[in-house]
Structure 1
């Protein structure tokens, strides 16, 4: 998982690290069946540029809408349209994908981690929900930096 501002796994020993809780297996389970990933204006521009297409074409060809918010389409297979045994836009994937599985809902209800663990073979359960919450906050803060 790429990080702005350094490697989050190299922080002090008392700070919980993402690798304490998760190691991506590149299985694509997080890329399927959940309705798509929301994209913001910055992500739309970045992905469009990466694909070499205009913003309007990206929105038309690669996005569905949930209310007024664009989200990346799902293919008939149930996977994200950018999944082809690996993420084909990995370098520019949306924040929603980059932070997985460290999502906001874990802070609302830590038992959501068990649900995520049941779907994702890379999730580890070390039993320390306080450390998990700290880790989630750190990940979310890191990805909210401009």
Structure 2
């Protein structure tokens, strides 16, 4: 997967994509949630995250207390030991990874804690959520990181002009 190509395309289309996403907020189509789900599925039929894992290499998820408890239990660690070994508190007082790429990312781009991974990882790149216009800023940012997010926005533009 050519990440540089996707990032360059996303940068080139940043203004256009921002305008498109804002139009969804101003005047959302009646069937927007359905269209989002359909587009998300179309994109992930073609894109395999295991070929990329750029999110795991470049951006750390936010860890909720539930995430921390679940993962620590899975690793048979005390919560405090898990936090000390893997996490830090950022400027927003959120718990995030100390280092990137993610500790749990294997050489073959699989995740060693996949079954118990953080909620943020499970939901990334957030292209299947209802009222997607509520996270326009995040969707736009994710197009620079994630080929699937970029493809999603491009496909949404295409799907909306068809209908």
Classify the TM-score, shorter chain.
0.5 to 0.7
The aligned counterpart of 1:142 is none
The aligned counterpart of 2:29 is none
1:54 to 1:130, Cα distance in 2 relative to 1, 3 A: farther
Q: What stretches of structure 1 of length at least 5 have no aligned partner?
A: 1-13, 132-146
1:122 to 1:57, Cα distance in 2 relative to 1, 3 A: same
TM-score (norm 1): 0.62
1:24 to 1:107, Cα distance in 2 relative to 1, 3 A: farther
For 1:60 and 1:129, locate their aligned partners in 2 and report how far apart those are by CA, in whole Å. Answer: 46
For 2:137 and 2:123, locate their aligned partners in 1 and report how far apart those are by CA, in whole Å. Answer: 18
TM-score (norm 2): 0.57
Is the CA contact (8 Å cut-off) linking 1:72 and 1:80 kept in structure 2? yes
Q: CA shift at 1:71, angstroms?
A: 1.2
For residue 105 of structure 2, give the secondary structure of its aligned residue in structure 1.
Answer: coil
1:54 to 1:112, Cα distance in 2 relative to 1, 3 A: closer
Structure number with higher relative contact order (C-alpha < 8 Å, ≥ 6 residues apart): 2
The aligned counterpart of 2:57 is 32
For 1:19 and 1:41, locate their aligned partners in 2 and report how far apart those are by CA, in whole Å. Answer: 30
The higher radius of gyration belongs to 2
How many residues align structurally? 113
User: Aligned-residue CA RMSD in angstroms?
Assistant: 3.0
1:46 to 1:111, Cα distance in 2 relative to 1, 3 A: closer
Correspondence 1:127 to 2:149 = no
